Amino acid sequence: MASPANPIAAIFGRNLAAARRRSGFSQEEVGIRASLHRTEIGLLERGERLPRIDTAIKLAFAVNVVPEELFEGIEWSPGMARRGSFRAAHGDGSQAAAGESTDA
């Protein structure tokens, strides 16, 4: 089997498959319980799809786990915010940051 392109989808899929097996349900039963087609369950478990948040919640309750269990091993690192500043462009091509004098 080829490795899924999205590692987040792969982790979610492994968590879903493990929870489904623990619950004793087939993919078809989980599909019925979550109002999804059984093929969608297979795509999710193989990491070929990533669910919307409402689908993830339906899946969690379909396999009798809290939604957090399906997201175990997935972390978010917030990006670094930078403070921006305006720069004034001059006709001669030079630039000065706001507050800097352009007098020589």
> What is the mean pLDDT for each group of 10 consecutive residues in the chain (104 residues)?
75 98 98 97 97 98 98 87 77 56 49
Strand, helix or coil for residue 80: coil
CA distance 82 to 24: 49
- Quick one: CA dihedral 46, 50, 53, 54, positive or negative? negative
How many angstroms from the chain centroid is the CA of residue 101? Answer: 46
Q: Would you identify the CATH topology of the domain 7-70?
A: 434 Repressor (Amino-terminal Domain) (1.10.260)
Hey, where are the domains in the chain? 7-70
d(C-alpha 4, C-alpha 10), whole Å:
6
Q: Is 71 exposed, middle or buried (0-12, 13-18, 19+ CB in 10 A)?
A: middle
What pLDDT does 3 receive? 55
